[in-house]
Amino acid sequence: MVVGVAGSLNDGSVTRKATECALAAARQRGARTELLDLREYDLPAFDPNATPPADVEALTDRIEAADAVLLGTPMYHGSYSSPLKTALDYCGFDEFDDTTVGLLAVSGGSFPLPALEHLRSVCRAFEAWVLPHQAAITDSHAIDGALPDADRERLTELGERAVAYAGIDPSHPAEQCPGAPADD
């Protein structure tokens, strides 16, 4: 199972398209996949003294069940998005310990290296195994429709490596997860 977390709330999100592209590559390699779209979860700012809403358990259970997790984020002010930060604040070792994690970031301008570095540090704190390959999309405001071929190639490699490094057996046909996006 490869789960992709789209850390953007924008309806026309390039981050969501990129996450779906990487998940499609994972499906083609034999993985079951599921997109966790943070627009669909009620995730208030993390408060350790408050009872978390039911959506928190639904989200963390899906992440914990995954063999690999792809974290997609737009770059906001030199880092990753606050919706993704909030989702990760509700997670911990149980969800990520020894889990393969792939990172992708999208920027309206230049290379979103700071966002990728920040996510890599958080995932290491979770004791996740972060793939050395990461995908970045630059100049996202110029993307109208399909992702450019070079971006799709990097995202495809990210999805393929998530399957390979998580040890998912591609010889067994994948079954589609409920709520997962259809094949591209």
Pairing of strands 33-37, 68-74: unpaired
The strand order across the sheet containing 2-6 reads: 33-37, 2-6, 68-74, 100-106, 129-137
Assigned CATH class of 2-166: alpha beta
Mean of all residue pLDDT scores within the chain: 88
Q: For the chain, what is the radius of gyration of the CA atoms?
A: 15
Q: In the structure, what pLDDT confidence band is assigned to residue 69 with cuts at 50, 70 and 90?
A: very high
Tens digit of pLDDT for each residue in 132-165?
999 988 767 667 777 878 888 999 999 999 999 9
* Domain ranges across the chain: 2-166
